Amino acid sequence: AQTVTQSQPEMSVQEAETVTLSCTYDTSESDYYLFWYKQPPSRQMILVIRQEAYKQQNATENRFSVNFQKAAKSFSLKISDSQLGDAAMYFCAYRWETSGSRLTFGEGTQLTVNP
């Protein structure tokens, strides 16, 4: 079964600095998608970035980028120039390409941004 592990329950960063959140996963599939979701105190799930496994190029969305290491099954999120609004719980998720494209989530990393 596919599993997703986030080994950092909590992280903190100074405003304007860079922080990296870690995620590892386990799968026997060769084609899949990986996602990072942000969950602020409002509880709304917000998609931050996605990575297609067959693409070697790392995805980037403005200040957010990923380091995707397929062989190592690692998918970390880098947040550059951190802002107070980045403070939230961040979830890494694996999408099954069979079984209705359902998501398996990690346990989450609580990010604090210090002014």
Partner 1 sequence: NAGVTQTPKFHILKIGQSMTLQCTQDMNHNYMYWYRQDPGMGLKLIYYSVGAGITDKGEVPNGYNVSRSTTEDFPLRLELAAPSQTSVYFCASASSGGKRGEQFFGPGTRLTVL
Shortest distance, position 38 Cβ to partner 1, whole Å = 11
3-state DSSP assignment of residue 101: helix
Out of 12, 61, 83, 102, which residue is the one contacting partner 1 (CB under 8 A)?
102
Out of 20, 64, 74, 103, which residue is the one contacting partner 1 (CB under 8 A)?
103
61 binds partner 1 (CB under 8 A): no
Out of 29, 69, 107, 114, which residue is the one contacting partner 1 (CB under 8 A)?
107
Distance CA 46, CA 89 (A): 10
Question: 66: how many CB neighbours lie within 10 A of its CB?
Answer: 25
95 binds partner 1 (CB under 8 A): yes
Site residues for partner 1, 34-53, by CB under 8 A, read 42-45, 47, 50, 52
Residue (50 or 78) nearer to partner 1, CB: 50
By the 8 A CB rule, do 46 and 37 touch? Answer: yes
By the 8 A CB rule, do 5 and 15 touch? Answer: no
Per-state percent for the chain, helix, strand, coil, to nearest 5: 5, 50, 45
Cβ-based burial of 92 (10 A; exposed 0-12, middle 13-18, buried ≥19): buried
Shortest distance, position 36 Cβ to partner 1, whole Å = 12
Positions that interact with partner 1 (CB under 8 A) = 4, 6, 33, 42-45, 47, 50, 52, 91, 95, 97, 99-108
